[in-house]
Amino acid sequence: MHDAPKVPRMKDHVVLITGFMADARVFMPQIVRFGLDRPVTIFTLGMGETVEKLAVEMAPLLPARAAVVGHGLGGNVAIELLRRRPEAISRIALISTDPLPEPVQQVAAEEALVVAAKTGHLADCIAQLIPETALFDAPWRGEVMALLQDMAATLGLDPFMGQLRAMQRRPDQQKTLRKADVPTLILTGAHDRIVPPRRAEFLAGLMPQGCLEIIPEAGYLPQLEQPDAVTKVLETFLSGRLPTL
């Protein structure tokens, strides 16, 4: 009598949520790798002016069960999706994500960018919101910044306006995180000046199953700055294990 052949277990569907003024290219190294052996869906942020509106647009499109990875503002949307559809999310990874509201003084300073963007200075606005110094000073930093500007130019003014408002109005998500009892990876670049490692440590400490991974020689865009390291950490996490910290 022969044993029935084992059917390989289908790996979790992966949902990648891009951050502020980014398209699928912000996750391209990870898409290439994960797409080899698991279904991958990319969500880009629309023009909703709040995190809640952005999440409402995505919630019906979520697979029945998925691992969700979000970067920056996309991470805030991922947290809101976890609050709205906890049954659909098997695990969650948050990259360079700040769960606290935007400081009032920062919101006020950003109002000048609204005027600047409307008068044709979108590239300057992106450079102020995500400056070169937010990335690690690597030889390829200029290439990553050029890609960031190209993604923003491709998306254009209307998404900029909506996503800036969503970033300014993002809610305090501490309560959701404290209740979120799912495996969680908090990933950050050691040289991130937008969401510094100490904020990532705070975020990991909020969650019952939170773990922290700090990527050396990376800043706000670790998935592009150190793609191999980030992909390896995410693969370990998606396979059901916690990364070696």
Tens of pLDDT, residue by residue over 24-59, are 999 999 999 999 989 999 999 988 999 999 999 999
Q: Note whether 95 and 220 are within 8 A (CB).
A: no
Assess whether pLDDT exceeds 50 at residue 1.
Answer: no
Residue 241 buriedness (CB in 10 A; 0-12 / 13-18 / 19+) = exposed
- Span 216-234, pLDDT tens digits: 999 999 999 999 999 999 9
Predicted pLDDT of residue 219: 98
* Residue 3 confidence class, pLDDT cut points 50, 70, 90: low
Mean local confidence (pLDDT), 69-86: 97
- Span 145-183, pLDDT tens digits: 999 999 999 999 999 999 999 999 999 999 999 999 899
pTM over 0.85, yes/no: yes
> Which residues lie closer than 8 Å to 149 by C-beta, 6 or more apart?
123, 126, 127
Assess whether pLDDT exceeds 90 at residue 81.
Answer: yes
Assess whether pLDDT exceeds 80 at residue 241.
Answer: no
Assess whether pLDDT exceeds 60 at residue 2.
Answer: no
Angle separating helix axes 141-155 and 122-129, nearest 10 degrees: 130
Predicted pLDDT of residue 245: 43
> Which residues lie closer than 8 Å to 117 by C-beta, 6 or more apart?
125, 157, 160, 161
| Cα 46 to Cα 58: distance, rounded to the nearest angstrom | 9
- Span 90-128, pLDDT tens digits: 999 999 999 999 999 999 999 999 999 999 999 999 999
Q: What is the dihedral of CA 137, 142, 145, 149, to 10 degrees?
A: 160
Assess whether pLDDT exceeds 90 at residue 19.
Answer: yes
